[in-house]
């Protein structure tokens, strides 16, 4: 299935120079008539396992995606990750007039190739592409293969109804091979490729509440820590007093970490993994834990980092025999700065507000999310907005139960066309700005 199988456009076309009342009903009808083809593209993507640590699958999806966008005039470049565990990032570019034009606006469209589901998990939970009513189930249906299809729909609509906009913009589609693990090399690559761009548009799934589209204008930052505790081993029966139990010390550390959470300031800490000791008849000589911290505000974020690192001086467990202390070591393994509310993002948000008004929609609303996206890498260098993908639920979930208390990830089929029309109307406005 390629774009060549899509229906020919209606006879009327409009461009930004004419500044017309856009043919939204014709655009909507065109996209709706082609939904089976667009869902065919999504089907092809979902059946490919692209778990982050399956570089073969990620690369296969990358080649498929490059082939799907080729008929729209995009040239593909595959950029290897410096980490052998991950696949290749995909850069798709369509230059104005098939060559660089300095005055042409550049717009970045951001998605990613990887999902969080190993093939064995998909098989164990019978998690595969299927359509049940309005729900399209499958790995990545909303996070984020549905977003990649949304990009295709937007460009297809622009090409057919707004050819001057489609031809007058240098389009750069950037697809991360390891977004789910927040690989920093993609962030550096995206900042380089989109330097001077008019906007970065991120196509993670978008929520709808009370009939209003929720567009992501801020996201929490994140820091990850590894806590290592060194105690002193001893026979648990004969020499218990000589031991300094690393697990007990780690338990005290974990209690302190949990108390750092301050929901009033949107600062959260999560102890994700714990391990320690070797056998039951030995006072544990070592223990370790992993911790994730998130915050919206940069100042609060830095306070959280300082609190965690201060635990390097914390000791509450000593040997009863000679006072030998347990030693705590906190390693800051990585940090991803918050994406706070900011004027550049809100200027993009206003474009979508105007487009929604033009379409007679109930409106759009700004949304702050606790999860990170590739927008966290870009917001401070160029206007960035997120949540432009289809509506859906249960991202990162492969489980389901008979009573409905657990359900798998899905996208809503009915959300694709209206969201694509909104995105097209906004991008036409964005491309026409001085």
Partners of 335 in the β-ladder: 223
What are the angstrom distances between the C-alpha of 117 and each of 55, 64, 393, 396, 397?
13, 19, 16, 8, 9
**Separation between Cα atoms, residue 298 and residue 219, nearest integer Å:** 11
The tokens for 130 are: 């299927």
Distance between CA atoms of residues 130 and 104, nearest Å: 41
For 8, phi then psi, to 5°, come to -65, 155
Count H helices and E strands in the chain, helices first: 12, 19
Under DSSP, is residue 253 helix (H, G, I), strand (E, B) or coil?
A: helix
**Tokens in use for 317?**
């467990």
- Please say whether the beta carbons of 186 and 193 come within 8 A: no
- CB neighbours of 422 closer than 8 A, spacing ≥ 6? 213, 352, 355, 356, 359, 361, 364
CA pair distance 81, 74, nearest whole angstrom: 21
> Can you tell me the distance from the alpha carbon of 129 to that of 127, in angstroms, rounded to the nearest whole number?
7
Is the CATH number 3.30.70.360 carried by domain 221-336? Answer: yes
Q: What is the DSSP letter of 51?
A: B
pLDDT in tens, the chain (434 residues): 444 456 655 444 434 333 344 468 999 999 999 999 999 999 999 999 999 999 999 999 999 999 999 999 999 999 999 999 999 999 999 998 644 445 789 999 999 999 999 999 999 999 999 999 999 999 999 999 999 999 999 999 999 999 999 999 999 999 999 999 998 999 999 999 999 999 999 999 999 999 999 999 999 999 999 999 999 999 999 999 999 999 999 999 999 999 999 999 999 999 999 999 999 999 999 999 999 999 999 999 999 999 999 999 899 999 999 999 999 999 999 999 999 999 999 999 999 999 999 999 989 999 999 999 999 999 999 999 999 999 999 999 999 999 999 999 999 999 999 999 999 999 999 998 64
Cα–Cα dist 258/291, whole Å? 10
CA geometry: angle 74, 176, 296, nearest 5 deg? 130
> pTM for this one?
0.90
Question: Contact at 8 Å (CB) between 42 and 64?
Answer: no
Give the separation between CA 52 and CA 63, rounded to whole angstroms: 16
Question: Which among 129, 135, 207 is positioned nearest to 389, based on CA atoms?
Answer: 207
Assigned token pair, 30: 């065109």
Q: How far apart are CA 337 and CA 294, in angstroms?
A: 9
Which residue in the block uniquely carries the two structure tokens 């915050």? 295
Token pair 């218990």 is found at 240
Tell me which H or E stretch contains 282.
strand 282-283
Judge whether 87 and 59 are in contact, CB under 8 Å. Answer: yes
Residues 6 or more apart from 126 whose CB is under 8 A from it?
none
**What pLDDT does residue 17 have?**
38
Question: Distance from CA of residue 299 to its chain's centroid?
Answer: 24
126: left (phi over 0), alpha (psi -120 to 50) or beta: left
Q: What is the DSSP letter of 9?
A: P
Q: Quick one: which of 190, 170, 158 has its CA closest to 102?
A: 170
Question: Nearest-CA neighbor of 23 among 153, 156, 162?
Answer: 162
- What are the start-end ranges of the E strands in 167-261? 170-176, 199-202, 207-209, 212-219, 221-230, 234-235
Domain 3-219+339-432 belongs in CATH node 3.40.630.10? yes
Domains of the chain, residue spans: 3-219+339-432, 221-336
Q: Give residue 343's pLDDT.
A: 97
Per DSSP, which regions of 47-194 are E strands?
75-80, 88-94, 106-112, 130-132, 135-137, 170-176
The Cα 257–Cα 399 span in angstroms is 30
pLDDT given for residue 103 in this prediction: 73
């Amino acid at each position: 299935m390629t774009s060549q199988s899509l229906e020919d456009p209606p006879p009327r076309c409009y461009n930004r120079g004419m500044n017309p009342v856009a043919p939204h009903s014709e655009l909507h009808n065109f996209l709706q008539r082609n939904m089976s083809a667009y869902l065919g593209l999504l089907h092809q993507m979902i059946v490919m396992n692209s778990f982050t640590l399956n570089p073969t699958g990620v690369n296969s999806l990358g080649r498929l995606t490059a082939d799907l966008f080729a008929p729209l005039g995009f040239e593909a470049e595959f950029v290897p990750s410096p980490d052998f565990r991950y696949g290749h990032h995909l850069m798709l570019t369509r230059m104005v007039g098939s060559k660089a034009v300095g005055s042409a606006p550049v717009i970045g469209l951001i998605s990613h190739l990887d999902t969080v589901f190993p093939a064995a998990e998909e098989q164990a939970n019978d998690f595969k592409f299927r359509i049940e009513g309005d729900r399209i189930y499958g790995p990545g249906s909303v996070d984020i293969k549905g977003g990649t299809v949304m990009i295709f729909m937007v460009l297809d609509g622009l090409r057919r109804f707004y050819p001057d906009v489609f031809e007058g913009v240098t389009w750069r589609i950037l697809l991360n091979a390891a977004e789910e693990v927040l690989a920093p090399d993609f962030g550096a690559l995206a900042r380089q490729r989109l330097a001077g761009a008019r906007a970065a548009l991120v196509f993670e799934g978008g929520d709808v509440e009370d009939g209003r589209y929720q567009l992501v204008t801020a996201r929490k930052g994140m820091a990850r820590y590894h806590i290592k505790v060194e105690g002193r081993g001893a026979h648990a029966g004969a020499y218990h007093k000589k031991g300094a139990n690393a697990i007990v010390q780690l338990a005290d550390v974990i209690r302190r970490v949990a108390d750092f959470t301050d929901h009033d300031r949107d600062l959260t800490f999560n102890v994700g993994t714990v391990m320690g000791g070797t056998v039951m008849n030995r006072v544990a000589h070592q223990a370790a834990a992993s911790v994730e911290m998130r915050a919206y505000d940069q100042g609060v974020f830095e306070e959280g980092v300082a609190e965690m690192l201060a635990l390097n001086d914390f000791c509450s467990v000593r040997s009863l025999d000679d006072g030998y202390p347990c030693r705590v070591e906190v390693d800051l393994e990585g940090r991803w700065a918050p994406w706070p509310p900011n004027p550049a993002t809100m200027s993009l948000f206003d474009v979508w507000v105007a487009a929604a008004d033009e379409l007679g929609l109930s409106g759009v609303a700004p949304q702050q999310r606790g999860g990170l996206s590739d927008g966290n890498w870009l917001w401070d260098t160029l206007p960035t907005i997120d949540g432009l993908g289809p509506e859906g639920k249960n991202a990162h979930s492969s489980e389901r139960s008979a009573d409905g208390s657990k359900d798998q990830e899905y996208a809503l089929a009915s959300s694709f066309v209206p969201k694509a029309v909104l995105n097209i109307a906004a991008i036409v406005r964005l491309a026409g700005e001085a």
